[in-house]
Amino acid sequence: KKIIISAAENETAVIVNVFNTGDHIPEEEMPNIWQSFYRADKAHSREEGRFGIGLSIVKSIVEMHAGSVIADSADGKTTFTVTLSGESEEA
């Protein structure tokens, strides 16, 4: 499986994409992936160290920084896009 991370900046935002060629997330599961302890892949157990909290933590951190995060999953490819304001605070 391949993971590709890319970043770009424009006048108003910084955009980070995380692209994964692993198992795709079924469309009906997409609204739930941001919930704490939700796991779309029911085959993996908690004994394997998977708890389903990673994406909820990502979303919380991004939103604390006034950003947004979205996910798209199709054809065995999943992309997460994080957008953060590109404006810096001047002291």
- Using pLDDT thresholds of 50, 70 and 90, give the confidence band for residue 48: low
**Confidence (pLDDT) at 35:** 79
Measured distance CA(58)–CA(60) in Å, rounded: 6
Evaluate the CA torsion angle 79, 83, 86, 91 in order and state its sign. Answer: negative
Give the pLDDT band (50/70/90) at residue 61: very high
- Using CA atoms, how far apart are residues 88 and 33, in angstroms rounded to an integer? 30
Say what the pTM is: 0.73
